[in-house]
Amino acid sequence: MPYGSPWSEQFVRQLSDKEVRSEFAADQIRARIALLIRSLREQSDRNWTQAELGERAGKPQNVISRFEDPNYGKMSLQSLFDLAAAFDLPVWIDMPKWEEWFALINDVPNQGTQRAGFDLDKLIEQAREGFPSEYAPIPTSGGAASAAAEAVRNMVMAPTQMDQIFGAPLNANAYPTNSNRLPLEKNDSAIGSAVCARNVAA
Amino acid sequence: MPLISSFSYYGEMSAEGVTSDVRENYENGSSRLKARTLSRLKILAGLPRAEWHEGYFKKLSGTCEGLWEIRFEADNVQQRPLGFHLSATEFVILFWAREKGNKFAPKKACEIALKRKAEVLKNGNLKHALWLALE
C-alpha cells in the first residue's frame, strides 16, 4: 500500500462486484452502529448498563442488547435519534464518495471513542474565544470534508502546521471531536492521510 | 488508524500451492458471504483483542475448549469460522463451520479444528497470511 493511502489496490479489487460492495458497505454500517452504541454506553464518564441506557432512551434492555448486535441491522432512524438523545449527541449522515468512505471506515469505534454530550458553557466559551486550538480545522469545499476530518482527527496539530499541509488559509470551521487523536510526532502517517484527503478535494 | 490485528488461515502445501478448505469456502461462497466475511474481519482487525465482543466473536467451551468462533450470518446461515489466537495480534482461522440449531455443521468441526490447531503449533508452515486485503 503506498505511503499515506488508507486502502490498497487489492482491497478495492475485492469490491469490484457491485453486490459484494453494496453488502460490504451495509454490513460495515450495521457493525459500526452496534459498536458505537456500546462504546458510548461504556464511555468512562457514563459507564451505563444496557438497562440504564434503555431507561434514558425509553426502551427495554433487551432492545438495547439487540441494537448492540452487529447482525441485527433493523434499527429505525427514530431509534437512532432516541439513542443519540440519550447520549445528548447529534447524528450526522452522509453518502460520501468511496475514497472518502474508505478513509472513514478505518476508524472503528472502540473503548478510546469519547464523545461528550452537549455542554452549553464549553460551547459558549468556544464561541467567544474563536477557534479552539485543541481542535483542527478541516477543508469544507469539494466534498472532502469527511475524509479530511477523519485524517485530521488522528492528530494534534497547530494551525500553522495545517497551513503547511493543506497549503491554504484556514477555514474558521472546527471539527468538534477529540477522539483517538495522537501527538503528531507519534503518528506521522496521519500527515499522509491528511494529504491524501486534501488530494481528494482537489 | 492502522490495523491492530491480523488473520492467517490453515492450509496444506501441495504442488499447486496452498490447499485450504477455509479459503475454498470463501471462494465458493455467495457475494453476501464474501462481503460479510470481509466486513467482519476488517472490523475485528481494527480492534484490540480485548474488544472482540461476543456479538462478533465467542470463546468456546466443552469439547471445543481452546477454540474461538467468529460469528456472523450470511445467506440465512450462521457462519462460524473457528480458530485461535496464536499471539495477541494474530488469529488463525482453522476451519469454517456453520451453526444449525445450536450445533455445528459438520458435527466434527471442533475436532477437526483442534487437530489443526495442534498441527499449526507444531508446524508454522501450515498457517498462511490471509488471502484477503483488509485495507
Pick the CATH number of A18-93 from 3.60.21.10, 1.10.3720.10, 1.10.260.40, 1.10.10.10: 1.10.260.40
The H or E element spanning position B78 is strand B77-85
Q: A8 to chain B: nearest residue by CA?
A: B135
pLDDT per residue over A88-121, tens digit each? 999 999 999 999 999 999 889 988 899 999 999 9
Structure confidence at residue A137 as a pLDDT band (50, 70, 90): low
**Lowest-pLDDT choice from A1-15, A45-59, B43-57, B85-99:** A1-15
Q: In terms of DSSP bridges, do strands B17-19 and B12-14 run parallel, antiparallel, or are they unpaired?
A: antiparallel
Task: Say how many C-beta atoms besides its own lie within 10 A of residue B64's C-beta.
Answer: 18
pLDDT per residue over B80-126, tens digit each? 999 999 999 999 999 999 999 999 999 999 999 999 999 999 999 99
More confident residue, B55 or A42: A42
Torsion of CA A68, A72, A74, A78, to 10 degrees: -10
Q: What is the mean pLDDT of residues B54-82?
A: 95
More confident residue, A190 or A65: A65
pLDDT confidence of residue A55: 98
Residue A21 C-beta-side C-alpha neighbours within 13 Å: 11
Does the CB of A182 have a partner CB in chain B at under 8 Å? no
* Residues of B whose CB is below 8 A from A69: 55
Residue A157 C-beta-side C-alpha neighbours within 13 Å: 27
Give me the interface pTM, i.e. the ipTM. 0.94
Return the C-alpha cell found at A79.
Answer: 431509534
- Residue A196, pLDDT > 80, answer no
Return d(Cα A22, Cα A19) in angstroms, integer.
5
Query: A147 — phi, psi (to 5°)?
Result: -65, -40
Mean pLDDT (chain B) is 95
- Residue B76, pLDDT > 80, answer yes
Structure confidence at residue A6 as a pLDDT band (50, 70, 90): confident
Spell out the domain ranges in chain B: 6-129
Helix (H, G, I), strand (E, B) or coil at A126: helix
- Yes or no: say if A30 and A71 are a contact pair by the CB < 8 Å rule: yes
The DSSP annotation for A58-95 comes to T--HHHHHHHT-TTT----HHHHHHHHHHHT-------
Structure confidence at residue B40 as a pLDDT band (50, 70, 90): very high
Structure confidence at residue A138 as a pLDDT band (50, 70, 90): low
Return d(Cα A156, Cα A148) in angstroms, integer.
14
More confident residue, A187 or B30: B30
Q: Which of B42, B55, B135 is nearest residue A69 as measured by Cβ atoms?
A: B55
Domain with CATH 1.10.260.40 in chain A: 18-93
More confident residue, A192 or B131: B131
- Yes or no: say if B80 and B99 are a contact pair by the CB < 8 Å rule: yes
Q: Which of A28, A70, A110 is nearest residue B55 as measured by Cβ atoms?
A: A70
Q: What is the mean pLDDT of residues A108-135?
A: 86
Q: In terms of DSSP bridges, do strands B77-85 and B72-74 run parallel, antiparallel, or are they unpaired?
A: antiparallel
Return d(Cα A52, Cα A170) in angstroms, integer.
42
Structure confidence at residue B14 as a pLDDT band (50, 70, 90): confident
**What is the distance in angstroms between the Cα of B11 and the nearest Cα belonging to chain A?**
21
Distances (CA, A) of B106 to A173, A183, B30, B67, B90: 57, 50, 19, 16, 25
Best mutation target, A8, A18, A35, to test chain B (most B CBs within 10 A): A35
